[in-house]
């Protein structure tokens, strides 16, 4: 159940950002530390009277998570049996919460970690967040390991702006936020923003995978994925939603370190009436107001193609990937598209999808191919195509941003 979790070194964060080759200390929650060689140092063990079982069926020390958090002493360990844990939870003291079965303890309501002091720390392991979390005003360390927040519903929070701005880039919200906190670490966590609501007339923007504001955060492994924007339809002059970004960071004090992380922006929604106001596509990371990011060593995969083409023309696309990677291109008629995600997996790709093997990447790290000659898109009732590159690199999956290929004029 325990995994090595990389913890952000608070005092060394500046040098770490300056040198992406630096290797931070690795820890397993608040109790166990390990060197970069992987040798465990068990350190002081938890006293047995500080470990508590939480079980919704009533077979443990507590039935609900909010009651357990409020009742146990600082530094306690809460072990969660599989189940859905309702009730809004606020953590404001040192605490370790772990699912006995990874991803089987589902946090059914919003969870907040707040006001963790300089000598305190919070560790959350193996949890699945159904309604999101907020980490706010924390000076001490907050570590989330093997946690997930994969979309359960195709609806996003209202962005709080006039619908005229729904298609605008970076306009969405997120149910996963870090605000005014100094040392927050995510290890092998998959966070996906929800799809924007498809409404009559206007579609909501998709949510961002993670929002970081005025904070220092490190992300090791896992994925940050925006949610697709909702389509607009049934009105003249609809406003579809923008796609969510993988990471949206803002504020002059914000520093985000990323290592071996899948970052995906999502596609904007369609204006199904006129095609004039399609929503902005999300991007891997969007930075505002002086926020900065730094990257450790990571194998990146990109896909480039012109977004607009004349009908019946076949442009070329270019993939960049590490030499030796096994490459594929996925394409589907627009409106039949569902992008690859960690949750849906490789072969759950939607109607009309083609998965085309491209062989092995050569020493140049770049491959250019002509767009395959597909059936005429509009003969199927579609006006374009969606593409995404997929690669296997040293046994690991890599995904590019989804891209849109749109015909400039179509006669149905």
Position 162 scores a pLDDT of: 61
Is residue 378 helix, strand or coil?
A: helix
Model confidence pLDDT, tens digit, residues 164-196: 566 678 888 899 999 999 999 998 899 999 888
pLDDT bin (cut points 50, 70, 90) of residue 16 is: very low
Mean pLDDT of 233-252: 82
Is 188 buried (19+), middle (13-18) or exposed (0-12) by CB count in 10 A?
Answer: buried
Model confidence pLDDT, tens digit, residues 100-157: 998 899 999 999 999 999 989 999 999 999 999 999 999 999 999 999 987 655 555 5
How far is the C-alpha of 216 from the C-alpha of 193, rounded, in Å? Answer: 21
H or E element at residue 42: none
Sign (positive or negative) of CA dihedral 343, 27, 127, 283: negative
Share of the chain above pLDDT 90, in %: 41
Model confidence pLDDT, tens digit, residues 265-278: 988 877 665 555 67
Integer-rounded Cα radius of gyration of the chain? 22
Contact between 64 and 87 under an 8 Å Cβ cutoff? The reply is yes
H or E element at residue 49: none
The answer for 171, left when phi > 0, alpha when psi is -120 to 50, beta otherwise, is alpha
362-396 burial by CB neighbour count: b if 16+ within 10 A, else e?
eeeeebeeebeeeeebbeeebbbbbbbbbbbbeee
Mean pLDDT of 8-17: 32
Within its chain, how far is the Cα of 174 from the centroid?
10
Higher pLDDT, 332 or 409: 332
- Cα 96–Cα 20–Cα 365 angle in degrees, nearest 5: 115
The answer for 115, left when phi > 0, alpha when psi is -120 to 50, beta otherwise, is left
């Amino acid at each position: 159940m325990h995994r090595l979790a990389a913890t952000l070194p608070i005092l060394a964060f500046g040098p770490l950002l300056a040198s992406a080759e630096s290797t931070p200390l690795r820890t397993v929650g608040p109790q166990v530390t390990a060197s970069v060689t992987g040798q465990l140092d068990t350190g002081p063990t938890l006293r047995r009277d500080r470990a508590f079982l939480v079980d919704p069926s009533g077979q443990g020390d507590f039935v609900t998570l909010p009651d357990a958090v409020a009742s146990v002493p600082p530094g306690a360990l809460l072990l969660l049996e599989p189940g859905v844990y309702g009730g809004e939870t606020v953590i404001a003291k040192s605490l370790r919460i772990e699912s006995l079965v990874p991803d089987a303890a589902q946090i059914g309501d919003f969870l907040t970690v707040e006001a963790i002091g300089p000598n305190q720390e919070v560790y959350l392991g193996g949890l699945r967040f159904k309604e999101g979390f907020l980490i706010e005003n924390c000076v001490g360390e907050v570590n989330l390991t093997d946690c997930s927040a994969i979309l359960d519903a195709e609806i996003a929070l209202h962005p709080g702006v006039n619908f005229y701005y729904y298609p605008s880039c970076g306009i969405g919200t997120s149910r996963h936020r870090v605000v005014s906190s100094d040392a927050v670490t995510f290890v092998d966590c998959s966070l996906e923003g929800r799809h924007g609501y498809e409404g009559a007339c206007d579609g909501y923007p998709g949510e961002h995978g993670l929002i970081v504001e005025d904070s220092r955060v490190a992300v090791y492994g896992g994925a940050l994925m925006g949610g697709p924007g909702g389509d607009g339809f049934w009105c003249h002059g609809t406003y579809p939603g923008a796609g969510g970004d993988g990471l949206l960071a803002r504020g002059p004090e914000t520093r985000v370190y990323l290592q071996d992380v899948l970052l995906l922006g999502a596609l904007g929604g369609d204006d199904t009436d006129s095609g004039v106001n399609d929503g902005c596509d999300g991007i891997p990371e969007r930075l505002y107001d002086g926020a900065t990011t730094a990257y450790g060593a990571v194998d990146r995969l990109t896909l480039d193609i012109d977004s607009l083409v004349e009908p019946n023309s076949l442009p070329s696309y270019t993939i960049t990937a590490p030499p030796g990677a096994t490459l594929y291109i996925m394409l589907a008629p627009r409106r039949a598209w569902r992008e690859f995600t960690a949750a849906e997996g490789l072969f759950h790709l939607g109607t009309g999808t083609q998965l085309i093997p491209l062989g092995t990447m050569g020493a140049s790290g770049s491959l250019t191919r002509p767009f395959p000659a597909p059936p005429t898109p509009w003969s199927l009732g579609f006006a374009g195509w969606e593409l995404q590159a997929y690669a296997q690199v040293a046994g690991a999956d890599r995904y590019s941003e989804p891209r849109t290929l749109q015909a400039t004029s179509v006669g149905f």
